[in-house]
Structure 1
Amino acid sequence: MPRFNRIDYVIWYVESLSRSVAFYTEVLGLDVRIDGDGYVEFAMDNTKFALFERAKLPELIGGEGGTAPAGEIGFIVDDVDAEAGRLRAAGVPILTGPIDRPWRERTLHIADPDGNIVEFAQKL
């Protein structure tokens, strides 16, 4: 069984990106670090915290319709392909991946029992 000793990020999937960004910046006082293509990441020292527009989810994790997950958590792993093999052997459906992403990570997405997304990422 793999051991994950670091959370890479947490992403909340939101209906209104502008409304949620206003809440996190104006009410909580966070600063935006990255803003683009339905994704906003806040400046944090210890992990990545971001918001992602629900309407863009099919582009990221595939699928259409149904109830959208509430969020996503990402783990850094040494070998995404090995994780994919282990998960498939355990009968876990793979949503996307392994796939090389433009941001220089190889990723794999699965869903937890409640439909929330779990990403495994390998730095390239």
Structure 2
Amino acid sequence: MEIGYVILYVGELEVSVGFYRDVVGLAYKFTDAGYAEFDAGGVRFALYERRRAEWLTGRAVTPGAGGEVVVMVEDVDACAERLVAAGVPLLSGPADRPWGHRTVHVADPDGFVVEFATEIPRARQRR
């Protein structure tokens, strides 16, 4: 079994495409019929207009602030500086986390949390 896609239901597709392309830095592939896809390495990452999602799910889809998209970067501090320079408010960080990441968090246009992370030595071992 493998994860094939991660799809976020978004309010304004073009605004979210701009965020994930220009702020996050994912390689934009295409948009078609309310759906946009990015090259995110081994998993397909996509956005779908929330207003169109009801026919897929059989019910209205409400905005979700729960969940998180994690993007691994080479240098989280440089990433944070770039985000601040672009006017993106930071939710937290940069901060070292005990599980072995240095992270910075922002919110996308729909309130989904996006974490940028760099691997660092773990401060605590797994049990």
TM-score category of the 2 structures, normalised to the smaller one: 0.3 to 0.5
Structure with max Cα Rg: 2
